[in-house]
A and B are shown apart, each in its own frame.
Chain A
Amino acid sequence: MPNRPPLSRRSVLAAGGGVIVVTGTAAACGSVPGATTSGAEPTAPSSAADADLVEEVGRAIADAAGRARATAGVAGLRPLARPFVRLHAAHLDKLGWTGTTSTPDVGAADGARGALLTAERRLQAKLARAAGDARSGALAQVLASMAAAVAQQLAVAG
């Protein structure tokens, strides 16, 4: 698939009292005259509904991060859980989410491993749904990419 230089997109989503900067990159890998990406814009401007969505997704990611942190403290599960901790921290930073989160009691290793993977699968599904619900195309793109990142980590975790 021939490469095409990526197009940069910078979209500012005014969310409630704060401002979330969503940056994205779109690139096409085909090469057909007339099929350009340069004129394409996100499907809709950001909205208050998107602010609520960011809050909801941020909370879900933070909950998953709390579980991953707790699981990383269980003997033998640190290599499994740490990549999820790092990933969720990066995603929360991207969203500008600054709420608090709790750290659950995850129990022993046998149950903690399965519970972590189940929670991550749920988060992946939630992010994918949220991508579908977003009013802003730029936000949808970021949420879908976050879901893909979780899917990659789950694939590595096995």
Chain B
Amino acid sequence: MSGPDAALEALQTTLAAEHAAVFVYGALGAQTSQSATPALFADVTDAYTTHQDRRDHLVATIEDAGGDPVAAEPGYELPADLSTTAAITGRALRLERAAAATYAFLVANTTGRNRAWAVDALLDTAVRELTFGGAPETLPGL
């Protein structure tokens, strides 16, 4: 598969990932205290908003391309214990690393404006990994 079909499939895959990200960040936010851990609360809230925006952008892009955007699953798997800052941060870091891989995949399978958008998302996600305790990598997302 190549060209528009591959691009649309990659956009759908990315949208599926963003549905999951929004769900997981919603759960992480619910387990984060604004008063006890304000910095973590702000970081999780910012990430949640960013992934929501990306999800909405992907829905619009897929619709504009004539596709039918994939729907969110009823639920997604979460760690049993999200009671500690370390658990929340660790889950967020895993999520951002997975998102970086997804956006690298999207870069490879799109062109033009969609690719440029995917590149921006990859850069943002890579830097966001650091917010959640990640270390700089030689090739984030690959």
Chain A residues within CB distance 8 Å of chain B: 1-3, 6-7, 9, 23-32, 34-37, 39-44, 83, 87, 90-91, 94, 124, 128, 131-132, 137-138, 140-142, 144-149, 151-153, 155-156
Contact = CB atoms under 8 A, between A and B. Distances in A.
Interface of B: 1-3, 6-7, 9-10, 12-21, 24, 70, 73, 76-77, 94-95, 98-105, 107-112, 115-116, 118-120, 122-123, 125-127, 129-130, 136-142
Contacts of A151: 123, 126-127
Given A3-B94, A30-B13, A151-B126, A142 B139 contact: yes
A137 B142 CA distance: 13
Contacts of B13: 28, 30, 32, 35-37, 40
Given A2-B76, A145-B141, A26 B95 contact: no
Contacts of A35: 9, 12-13, 15-16, 70
A140 B102 contact: no
B102 A148 contact: no
Nearest to B25: A1
Contacts of B136: 83, 87, 149, 152-153, 156
